Amino acid sequence: MKEKYVKDEPIASRLYDKITDFVESYEALESVDYSIVNAAAYAYAQFVKLQVEITERGAVHVTKTGYTQVNGYFTAGQKYWNQYLDAVKHLGLSPLARSKMESTFDKTAKDYKQDPIAQMLKNSKRDEADA
């Protein structure tokens, strides 16, 4: 469910695809998560655009009166970067969140293999399929 504003931004569109592929690989992407993916991808694309401006103009500039001022592009870029970071944390994309997800999935798989009732149910489904 890629939104039009993400489709129209090449960087956002590519990142959206990468994020959804990654989270789907954990079978953890739900329909309610697409708004977060869209927000993350768009925020990152805007951050990249602003970084280009900052590279050209500098993070700080001096006004006509000699006052040193932070470039507005820098301030906006920080806000987009923070939006991106907040969104990806909700999706489990930080290194810490990934390690927790992997640990949870491994534990679930191990528990399932060791659970005699789960094994009995699994075997009974095979028996029904064979009949």
Q: Which residue has the tokens 């708004």?
A: 35
Spell out the SS3 assignment of 87-129: HHHHCCCCHHHHHHHHHHHHHHHHHHHHCHHHHHHHHHHHHHH
Residue 120 is predicted with a pLDDT of 59
| For the chain, domain boundaries | 1-93, 94-131
Indicate yes or no: pTM above 0.85: no
Residue 116 is predicted with a pLDDT of 57
Residue 26 is predicted with a pLDDT of 77
Over residues 67-123, the pLDDT tens digits come to 999 999 999 999 999 999 999 988 888 777 767 666 555 555 554 455 555 555 666
Give the H or E element holding residue 62.
strand 60-62
